[in-house]
Structure 1
Amino acid sequence: MPPRIIPILARLRQDLAAVLSRETIEEACRQSNHSWRRRLLDPAATVYLFLLQVLHGNTACQHVVHFGNWSFTDSAYCQARKRLPLAVFHSLLEKIAATSRAATEGGSRWLEHRVWLVDGSSFSMPDAPELQGHFGQPGNQRKGCGFPVAKWLALFDLTTGMLLRSAAAPLRSHEMSRAAAISQELEPGDLVLGDRGFCSYAHLALLAGRELHGVFRIHQKQIVDFTSGRPGTRGGSKDVPGLPRSRWVLAHGDSDQVVVWFKPKKGPSWMPREEYEALPDEITVRELRYRVEVPGYRVREITLVTTLHDAVAYPAEALAELYFRRWQVEINIRHLKISMQMDVLCCETVDGVLKELAVFTLAYNLVRSVMGESARLQGVDPDRIGLVDAVRWLIGTEEGDLSVLVVNPSRRGRVEPRVKKRRAKQYMLMKNPRSELRKSLPKKHF
């Protein structure tokens, strides 16, 4: 076992440390029909080194060689990573996810519901042919001048910040194509919170069919009219422009109503036709609108749609406060992509990229568990514990109490301009392949 992993496992909760034990890793290999022989870089040692590599900012493989008194090369380490099947990492993720769900059972809930934050982002990777063919690159870049980019979808627990599921997809695919898959482990009564990219008839119908709830900002193309008793258009006929594609049912207030949404004739591109046809012809949802009065906020008026119809049990003010907390998912993603440096992955194969993504998920959940335990000891919200400080404490060599981790000040409603102060170097952007640019360089005679 790498010596640096010993203090890390000792600092984790007992259930999380058990998921990463040598016995658990070897059992995951057996379940994946992976055979191995006893060697320096066996499956457990390889997983531990991979985890340490990510916790050190996804450092280079040449650096991993120095994680203790080892006698292997960076090439041997890369080959050991390739030998491990992707299914082994997915098995460890399954166990981490199960542990994360168990941790939320006794945690605080929002009006008796566990809340899961869903959002999408992207990450880049090396310009390798296999990655280009699988993920693709932005269309405004010439061949040889850009990098492959993958869409990434993640599901976080609102209370603890733990990452339950994540999935990568080609750049030219809809985020919703992976939304159903990453929410398979949710239980009846759970609530999914997301932005307008996840607001559609199909998604709400899927959640309702599984006895799940959703709260989403309504899509900008959806027409909403809070006039009591107003007419509606079944299916949104183009012959009556401007009418909402719904039937009014009940008003809870001036900007709070229950309506019936009708199933569009054409299903979304991300859903198979047979699955879409199996959805109900109509669903009942609640629409509400409120204003954001905090100076400096970009959005002044927000319209939500939810499957929570009861205005007494779920007041509009509580739903507005809940959606305000949706911003936490943006911070979680920033932690992963910027603080933990997941914005650019390093492997040059699809299998390697997916393994790298899986280990980032493992590492992130270990760090979040440290943040949660420190928050409990200090009596603060877990999101106020500094993530970078938690990473340093986790991989540090000095013994220390969790109560010494940095607690960030509460800055609710704080607004900062989204600008960078430090200027980038003034290099020209690559607009032609490197092979063409070399030809334009002046020839030097020596």
Structure 2
Amino acid sequence: MKYFQKDEQANITITTVTLRVQILKDKFSQSLGLPFKELLPSSVIEQALSELKIRYYRRLFDPIVTLWAFLSQVLDADKSCHNAVSKVIAYLAEIGVEIPSSDTSAYCQARSRLPEKFLETLFSQVGKSLEQKVEIEHLWCGRNVLVIDGSTVSMPDTPDNQSYYPQPSTQASGCGFPIAKIGVIFSLATGAAIALCIDVLNTHDIKLARNLYQFLNPLDILLGDRAFCAYADLVSIKNRNCDALFRKHQARKTTMRKGKIIGSSDKLVTWHKPKKCPHGLSKDEFNTLPSTITVREIYYYIVVPGFRTERVSLITTLLDTTAYSTLDIVGLYGKRWDVELDLRHLKTTLGMDILHCKTPSMVRKEIYVYLLAYNLLRGLMWSAGTSYTTPPLRLSLQGTRHHLNNFIPELLAATSTKRLQIYRTLLKVIAHKAVPDRPARNEPRVRKRRPKAYPLMTKPRHELRKQLQTA
């Protein structure tokens, strides 16, 4: 492709900055952008910039180049800004144009200029686009199921981060890291993240969930653990023409004598409005709650040799026993564990567990870019699975990331005709080996590898240095 062109009317050569920006956009679209062209084409990015009325100067790191560099940064094993800038320099050096400085300040400033709403919009748009690819055979009883859960992420110990996302109160000052609480809704069909909420560490999961209900669509089913099973939340979900399936909260006692039996280990029960306004609800919200709500309670037993038999009670608003049998609902709750795997993919596989940005606003942007990259990988897995008749959720996200990173140099070096052939090969390789299906897998939460026998930090580092100097 020829990058040096002339304007036929004004006979003015394209400036060096414009030339280099176009080179980088082409490079990213031919490599990292090619597998994601259906979910995140340049037109979607430009539309988001236009809708948010984002104006920017003509720079090397314009919003589109910065976004692609940010995405490649979180997908790479080396997540440093220096590595991201080095890639940009290498792309320009191949063409033979003037290369920028290897200093990372320009790129870091460009990242800070990206509006948080812009990244949130792209993340949401990609998740919705992937949801639109779901066919009826991928749904549960003809219904779309979303799974909700909460988790935490840590970040560098800077004064700004500490003031906005304080460390746990049990840790001494200067001995811990700032931690943010996140609530995420995932699609059970695609594994993609649909919605996100970020708050401080001591925020209860149910408060995060109430900020996420706005992202539910009519007839969705929300699946979650016992933390979300509250009277007001069941009412709120039903008011949105949706349904819920939660494990029964341990504070609510179970009695076998009440309720209408509708099947084996299955009954309809009436819950009454709490006498006092629960924490987190306003008086107006509490007053609008109905006096009663009918829910369906299903219970089953977990038998482990050598341990006391445990009874699990499920609460759902799916009252139709013909459309949703007892076994169907129990089987659906068994898939709630998928959200734990999705969060593990985000935090462990992609490395979102420990963030690198030093200000609260950049921390939130980094989280959105991680979720955007995660959804793009899910979209690539969906394309590979549907193209080669392999269940997309059975494919390895880590393997997909490895194959993508290894194929990018080949995509860059290929011609336009050869590039599509390499892309189809990439899909075939991703779908080649599915992860084994291991239902009801149970593993203890223990560590085999022993950490180094260093004591925990109980004083700030500068005090410990003084102790070493005076010792």
TM beyond 0.5: yes
For residues 61 and 140 of structure 1, the distance between their equivalents in structure 2, rounded to whole angstroms, comes to: 33
Equivalent position of 2:385 in the other structure: 375
- Aligned in 2, Cα 1:279/1:128: closer, same or farther, shift over 3 Å? same
CA shift for structure 1 position 269: 2.4
SS of the aligned residue for 1:310 comes to coil
Equivalent position of 1:241 in the other structure: none
Q: How big is each residue's C-alpha offset from its partner over 1:31-90, in whole Å with a ceiling of 9 and x where there is no partner?
A: 333321111101100111011101114601111111142524211111001112112112
For residues 259 and 267 of structure 1, the distance between their equivalents in structure 2, rounded to whole angstroms, comes to: 22
Does structure 1 residue 136 correspond to structure 2 residue 166? Answer: yes
User: Which is worse superposed, 347-356 or 277-286?
Assistant: 277-286
For residues 54 and 209 of structure 2, the distance between their equivalents in structure 1, rounded to whole angstroms, comes to: 30
For residues 67 and 234 of structure 2, the distance between their equivalents in structure 1, rounded to whole angstroms, comes to: 39
CA shift for structure 1 position 192: 0.3
Native 8 Å contact 1:100 1:164 kept in 2: no
The structure 1 residue matched to 2:437, chosen from 410, 420, 434, is 410
Equivalent position of 2:100 in the other structure: 71
**Counterpart amino acid of 1:270?**
G
Does structure 1 residue 165 correspond to structure 2 residue 189? Answer: no
Equivalent position of 2:181 in the other structure: 151
Structure holding more helix per residue: 2
The structure 1 residue matched to 2:34, chosen from 1, 5, 10, is 10
Does structure 1 residue 125 correspond to structure 2 residue 155? Answer: yes
- Aligned in 2, Cα 1:275/1:364: closer, same or farther, shift over 3 Å? same
For residues 122 and 306 of structure 2, the distance between their equivalents in structure 1, rounded to whole angstroms, comes to: 44
Equivalent residues in 2 for 1:9-408, closer than 5 Å: 9-12=33-36, 14=38, 16-18=39-41, 21=42, 23-57=43-77, 59-68=79-88, 69=90, 70-72=99-101, 73-104=103-134, 106=136, 108-227=138-257, 230=258, 248=259, 250-293=260-303, 300-396=310-406, 397-398=409-410, 399=422, 400-405=425-430, 406-408=433-435
SS of the aligned residue for 1:401 comes to helix
SS of the aligned residue for 2:442 comes to coil
CA shift for structure 1 position 271: 2.9
For residues 295 and 117 of structure 1, the distance between their equivalents in structure 2, rounded to whole angstroms, comes to: 31
CA shift for structure 1 position 422: 2.0
Q: How big is each residue's C-alpha offset from its partner over 1:81-103, in whole Å with a ceiling of 9 and x where there is no partner?
A: 11121121122123223313322
Does structure 1 residue 427 correspond to structure 2 residue 454? Answer: yes
CA shift for structure 1 position 299: 7.6
- Could you say what the CA RMSD is over the residues aligned between the two structures, in angstroms? 2.1
Identity %: 38
Native 8 Å contact 1:263 1:282 kept in 2: yes
CA shift for structure 1 position 314: 1.4
Native 8 Å contact 1:150 1:169 kept in 2: yes
CA shift for structure 1 position 197: 0.6
For this pair of structures, how many residues does the alignment match? 420
- Aligned in 2, Cα 1:49/1:348: closer, same or farther, shift over 3 Å? same
**Counterpart amino acid of 1:102?**
Q
**Counterpart amino acid of 1:31?**
E
CA shift for structure 1 position 417: 2.9
- Aligned in 2, Cα 1:170/1:299: closer, same or farther, shift over 3 Å? farther
For residues 57 and 295 of structure 1, the distance between their equivalents in structure 2, rounded to whole angstroms, comes to: 42
**Counterpart amino acid of 2:429?**
V
For residues 383 and 417 of structure 1, the distance between their equivalents in structure 2, rounded to whole angstroms, comes to: 24
The TM-score, its normalising length taken from structure 2, stands at: 0.84
CA shift for structure 1 position 313: 2.0
Native 8 Å contact 2:277 2:286 kept in 1: yes
SS of the aligned residue for 1:10 comes to coil
Equivalent position of 2:21 in the other structure: none
For residues 291 and 217 of structure 1, the distance between their equivalents in structure 2, rounded to whole angstroms, comes to: 13
For residues 296 and 378 of structure 1, the distance between their equivalents in structure 2, rounded to whole angstroms, comes to: 45
User: Which is worse superposed, 411-420 or 426-435?
Assistant: 411-420
CA shift for structure 1 position 167: 1.3
CA shift for structure 1 position 144: 0.5
Structure 2, unpaired ranges of 5+: 1-23, 91-98, 411-421
CA shift for structure 1 position 170: 0.6
Native 8 Å contact 1:336 1:364 kept in 2: yes
The TM-score, its normalising length taken from structure 1, stands at: 0.89
For residues 339 and 275 of structure 1, the distance between their equivalents in structure 2, rounded to whole angstroms, comes to: 40
